[in-house]
Amino acid sequence: MDLIRSRYIIHGDVQRVGYRDVVQKLAIKNGIKGEVRNLEDLDVQIIAEGTKEAISHFSNIIYIQDFPINVESIETREEPYTGEFRTFKIIRGDTGEEMAERMDTAIQHLNLIGKYSKTAADNSTTLIEMMHTSLDKQDQMLEKQDKMLEKQDRMLQKQDQMIGKQDQMLGKQDDMISVQHETVDEIKGLRKDSKSYLEKEFSEIHKRLHSIENALNDAGIKIH
C-alpha cells in the first residue's frame, strides 16, 4: 500500500468561514491524517498523509465553493511521507483569534440563513401569486361555462316553445279531421235520407199514374 504526503495552500475566502472544520471532517471520513491551519496572509495550509487513492480524492473534495466558503485556487506540493500524524487535527491560534473566527463563522451562517429565508419567502410569494392567477383563470372558465349553460337553457326553452306550437298545430289538425269525419257522416246520412224520400215519392207517383191509367181504361180511353 503506497502512502504519500501532500501539502496544500488554499487561496480564497477560507478563513473565518468554517473551512478548517469542514476539511477536518472530510479528512477523517476518508482515512487521512495530518493537519490544517490558518496562515497570516488569510490563506489556509493543509498537510495530508494517506494512501495514493485517498489523497487523490481528498485533493478534489477540498476545492469547496459553497457559501460562505469560496476556494479560488489550490497550490499542491508532494513531500516525502513521514507518518508523524496519528489523526487529523486543526492547529488553532490564540483564544482571541479563534473566538473571532467563531463569531465570524456564526455571522456568515446567520447571513446564509437570512438569505435562504428571503429566498423561501420570495418563492412563497411567487407561489401564492401563481395560485391566485390559476384561480382567476378557473373563475374565468367557470364564467364562460355559466354563459354556455345559459345559452343552452335558452335554446331548450325555444325548443320547448316550438314543441308546444307543434302540439297545438297537431291538435288543430285533429279537430279538423274530426270535423271532416262528422261532415262526411252527415252527407252520408243526407244521401241515405234523400234516397228513401225519393223512392217513396216515386212509388206514390207510380201508384197515381197506375190509378189514372185504370180510370182511363174504364172510360174506354186507350193509352199507348
Give the tens place of pLDDT for each residue, 4-34.
999 999 999 999 999 999 999 999 999 999 9
Q: Which of 28, 40, 38, 15 is nearest to 91 (CA)?
A: 38
pLDDT band at 44 (very low <50, low <70, confident <90, very high): very high
pTM of the predicted model as reported, rounded to 2 decimal places = 0.49
Residue 187 identity:
I
**Residue 95 confidence (pLDDT):** 81
Residue environment code for 185-199, b if the CB has 16+ CB neighbours within 10 A, otherwise e? eeeeeeeeeeeeeee
Residues 72-90: pLDDT tens digits? 999 999 999 999 999 999 9
CA distance 59 to 32: 11
Could you tell me the fold of the domain covering 3-92?
Answer: Alpha-Beta Plaits (3.30.70)
Q: Known catalytic residue: 38?
A: yes
Domain residue spans in the chain? 3-92
Residue of 5, 7, 20, 30 with catalytic role: 20
Residue of 38, 60, 70, 154 with catalytic role: 38
